[in-house]
Chain A
């Protein structure tokens, strides 16, 4: 049977080779080239102004928005607004002018979903930066919560609308990414809430509850997007039965099998690389004594190994499912693993950033004390 199959597969490859042998005759090729060169001679290449190309490609309104964004982003106000945090004077410029202007350029369900996800996560990162700097207060938290929910609802609406008639793999990927990041920030805010002796942590509860609620929603939405995507595959009629795939897996793999297996292996390898990289960075961070500067940071980093283990377990399950021929469950487990790996990566990234913010805050306090001491000494000296 193996020899028979190999012969048949060779025939498929021979078929591909023979198709590649279909070519134009030299006469046809030369005739078309002559016509092309005639056209080229009549329409020589020339350098055109990039302005002309861009303006011709976009609608008038978008072009106007371009001008607006260029005017705004070209100035120092825009540069300052980009890094503004809630409570800063320029923060309203960031969320009411810059981000909506950027959003005008984002078209298509998948890019719009990614853009909404980015804004959602950005709101949480801003809150965490403020928390690390000790600058959170009830009114800022309320504003962050409202903006976070607005972007999260925007993401959910786009994903829901994109799934009409069946989910696409790109939407599934966007949902995995969103789920991973919102889960990570839910964990981080929980760690912030456990910080000792910090009055601002009590005020965080409403934001924390909202993020946890949205993390739960994101998990459900990803599961739903995956199920719809797989169902769409089944409706197309190409889902094989587990039994037949199991039999197939037990046979010698043909070159096509090797190729399709390679696609699965590629994704597995990408997740493994992400896990290994996060483990390495975590090890470097925790082995450095000076890196962990607070119990909150320790709390954030403590979650990372557990999340990585979840990613490894799901990856193991994906491999087992794939080997047993259950491609759909293998795919779902692969997404579980990818989500957990991304979550761990985000937690580590934010944990390390928290340390830097705390270091900055500590240094600023020390500088302030130093200045205050100098002033007292100076004033004391003057009095003598």
Chain B
């Protein structure tokens, strides 16, 4: 494929997906500047992996989220190099769970409903946060999320199911809770 066409496609993909990748990075890191850097790194890696190495992927969006997830994990590993000796050899999923308990939050300006929901998602069990965010906010299908986090579709479906239940409870929208009152 002609390199000019590839660059045009890359620019088009950036125009369509940069905001969602930025939001995802912000959601995971709670730092706007870091999120912008990670978004940039995500697209750089995409260019390297997809175009220079000639790999073909059907779902570019899910692939971008996969790269973003790895960028976030790498960022966190570097950030906590000194204090994370115990995590050496641990899986990406372990790092993600640990990350939830330690990142400091630098909130950006957003509307009340957005802040409320984002806080509630972040208060959820780490196992469910990412899948609920990707499904409920970014509209990714269980199969796409399964590809991103490296689990089966069934596992992701169960996590979404349980996660949304938990989210409703945390947000105070649990119907059972109201009835019991």
Nearest CB of B to A57, in Å: 10
Tell yes or no: B34 within 8 A of A by CB.
no
Set of chain B residues within 8 Å of A209, measured between Cβ atoms: none
A1 x B178 contact (CB < 8 A) = yes
Q: Interface 1/0s, chain A 165-182, versus B by CB < 8 A?
A: 000111001000000000
Question: Chain B interface: which of A44-52, A137-145, A190-198, A297-305?
Answer: A44-52
Set of chain A residues within 8 Å of B48, measured between Cβ atoms: 43
Tell yes or no: A33 within 8 A of B by CB.
yes
Q: How large is the interface on A (under 10, 10 to 19, 20 to 34, 35 or more residues)?
A: 35 or more
Known: A5-B173, A19-B117, A22-B114. A45 touches B51 (CB 8 A): yes
Nearest CB of B to A176, in Å: 11
CA distance A377 to B47 in the complex (A): 77
Known: A32-B40, A37-B11, A170-B151. A263 touches B47 (CB 8 A): no
Question: Chain A interface: which of B57-65, B67-75, B76-84, B158-166?
Answer: B158-166
Known: A5-B175, A15-B116. A36 touches B151 (CB 8 A): no
Contact of B162 among A9, A11, A238, A259 (CB under 8 A): A238
Tell yes or no: A244 within 8 A of B by CB.
yes
Tell yes or no: B136 within 8 A of A by CB.
yes
How many residues of B are counted as interface, with CB atoms below 8 angstroms from the partner's CB atoms? 61
CA distance A45 to B7 in the complex (A): 9
Set of chain B residues within 8 Å of A89, measured between Cβ atoms: none
Q: Interface majority SS on B: helix, strand, loop or mixed?
A: helix
Task: Tell me which residues from 1 to 54 in chain A have a Cβ below 8 Å from any Cβ of chain B.
Answer: 1, 4-5, 8-9, 11-12, 14-24, 28-29, 32-33, 35-37, 39-40, 43-48, 50, 53
A19 x B110 contact (CB < 8 A) = yes
Question: Chain B interface: which of A248-256, A275-283, A357-365?
Answer: A248-256
Tell yes or no: B90 within 8 A of A by CB.
no
Tell yes or no: B85 within 8 A of A by CB.
no
CA distance A263 to B108 in the complex (A): 34
CA distance A69 to B166 in the complex (A): 50
